[in-house]
Copies of this chain bind each other. A is one copy, B any other.
Amino acid sequence: MSELVDDLLAGKHSALARVITKIENRSPGYREIVSALHHHTGSAEIIGITGSPGAGKSTLVDKMAAQYRERGHTVGVIAIDPSSPYSGGAVLGDRIRMASNAGDMDVFFRSMSARGSLGGLSTATTDAVTALDAFGKDYVIVETVGAGQNEVDIVKTADTVAVLVPPGSGDDVQMLKAGILEIGDIFVVNKADLDGADRTVQQLREMLQGRSTAGHHGASGSEIAETDADVSESEAWEPPIVETVANRGEGVEQFLATLSDHGDYLDRTGGREQQARDRFAAEIRTLLREDANRLLAGELHRQGGLDEHVDTVMARETDPYTVVDDVLAPLRECLDEE
């Protein structure tokens, strides 16, 4: 186990791949590995990319990775598909073949899927980012499909979240209202050469102004309308909208510059530390809940199993609240004794 950790820290990609497989499968020992790796984290820039299917996320991520690589940085990509039961091999193979930087192992691609619970996938993503960070990747990109609550949870792993919007129908912009508008630090209208892109940018701009006026304090609506790109004065981040044509590589450099701006903003304002604190707090709470549920399932089983309890509740001999009080009684007692 500690050999695997040593190999990862020594920069062996095969060890990194094995660690992420253990994390994804929750294989025995994965917790100890992640614990050991945590001490080596904190230097990667973590970028989350989300948006509806067809927005062009994978193409953009490939171009980003290539650009970072050209600049001499190392990159890790975790592509999450919460709705897919498939993982690792197949999709990974496709992506590596498609990537413009195929064969360049300093871009480490890995796909993860919803094999277990979705809550579990969120935790697994956090752990996989830990592994890539400890490995020493300069940039870690977490790419996730869709805009549901689960994707929102996953993408919160990132320092900076970019939301991709395809041009056109307006439906997609509408969809953003449901939670994703709040988490975007940068919005990218990809396929900006298509009809309707200008309208999409305009719609997005209006929605973001609405968000600023409603959500932010100490800034009037009219100020905000003028300061999409100017964050230096009030130090409130107004999400810029970047236009790209990822498959031709257009706008990618400007996108990376905007990502870098947001990174600087986080450093300047202490936002990076605050976000890290919030993430660790959320992670501790989640792990506590998951572990406690496992402990309780064991305790429930030891006291006769759920089916027997349901029998007595059905017979009106007892009721759900009393069952739960009984199951938890030993825990309450031992906590009181301390």
A300 contacts B288, CB within 8 Å?
A: yes
Q: Is A73 an interface residue (CB 8 A)?
A: no
Contact residues on A (Cβ < 8 Å of other chain), bracket: 35 or more
Q: Please give, as numbers and ranges, the residues of chain B lying within 8 Å of A273 by CB-CB distance.
A: 314
Are A284 and B299 in contact, with the CB atoms below 8 A? no
Selected from B35, B298, B332, the residue in CB contact (under 8 A) with A335 is B298
CA distance A291 to B277 in the complex (A): 26
- CB-CB nearest in chain B for A289: B293
Q: What's the nearest-Cβ distance from chain B to residue A100, in Å?
A: 36
Whether the pair B277, A310 counts as a contact (CB closer than 8 A) is yes
In the complex, A259→B162 CA distance in Å?
48
How far, in angstroms, from A32 to B198 measured CA to CA in the complex? 60
A98 adjacent to chain B (CB < 8 Å): no
- Asked if A330 lies at the interface with its beta carbon under 8 angstroms from chain B, I say yes
Q: Which residues of chain B are near A314, meaning CB under 8 Å?
A: 273, 276-277, 280
Q: Are B328 and A331 in contact (CB under 8 A)?
A: no
> Would you give the shortest CB distance from A197 to chain B, in whole angstroms?
24
With A284-B323, A320-B283: A295-B335 Cβ-Cβ less than 8 Å = yes
CA of A316 to CA of B319 in the docked complex: distance in angstroms?
46
CA of A334 to CA of B328 in the docked complex: distance in angstroms? Answer: 12
**Contacting pair B306 A296 (CB below 8 A):** no
Any chain B CB within 8 A of the CB of A194? no
Closest to A323 in B: B284
Interface status of A229 (Cβ within 8 A of chain B) = no
Roughly how many angstroms separate A319 CA and B338 CA in the complex, as a whole number?
25
Minimum C-beta distance from A39 to chain B (A): 5
Assess the B38–A288 pair: CB atoms within 8 A: no
| Copies of this protein chain in the complex | 2
What DSSP secondary structure best describes chain A's contact surface?
Answer: helix
A327 contacts across to B, CB distance below 8 A: 288
Nearest neighbor of A171 in chain B, beta-carbon distance: B171
A256 in the interface (beta carbon within 8 A): no
Which residues of chain A in 300-321 are interfacial with respect to chain B, using CB atoms and an 8 Å cutoff?
300, 302, 306-307, 309-310, 313-314, 316, 319-321
15 A/B residue pairs, CB under 8 Å, sorted by A? A35-B322, A39-B316, A277-B314, A280-B320, A281-B310, A285-B306, A288-B300, A288-B328, A289-B296, A295-B328, A299-B335, A302-B338, A331-B334, A334-B334, A334-B337
> 9 tightest A-B contacts by CB?
A334-B334, A38-B319, A287-B324, A283-B320, A280-B313, A31-B321, A35-B319, A39-B316, A35-B321
Name 19 extra pairs, CB < 8 A, besides A38-B319, A295-B331. Answer: A34-B319, A35-B319, A35-B322, A39-B316, A39-B319, A273-B314, A276-B314, A280-B314, A283-B320, A288-B300, A288-B324, A289-B293, A291-B325, A291-B328, A292-B328, A292-B331, A298-B335, A331-B331, A334-B335
Query: What is the interface of chain A, defined by CB distance below 8 A to chain B?
Result: 31, 34-35, 38-39, 41-42, 273, 276-277, 280-281, 283-285, 287-289, 291-293, 295-296, 298-300, 302, 306-307, 309-310, 313-314, 316, 319-325, 327-328, 330-335, 337-338
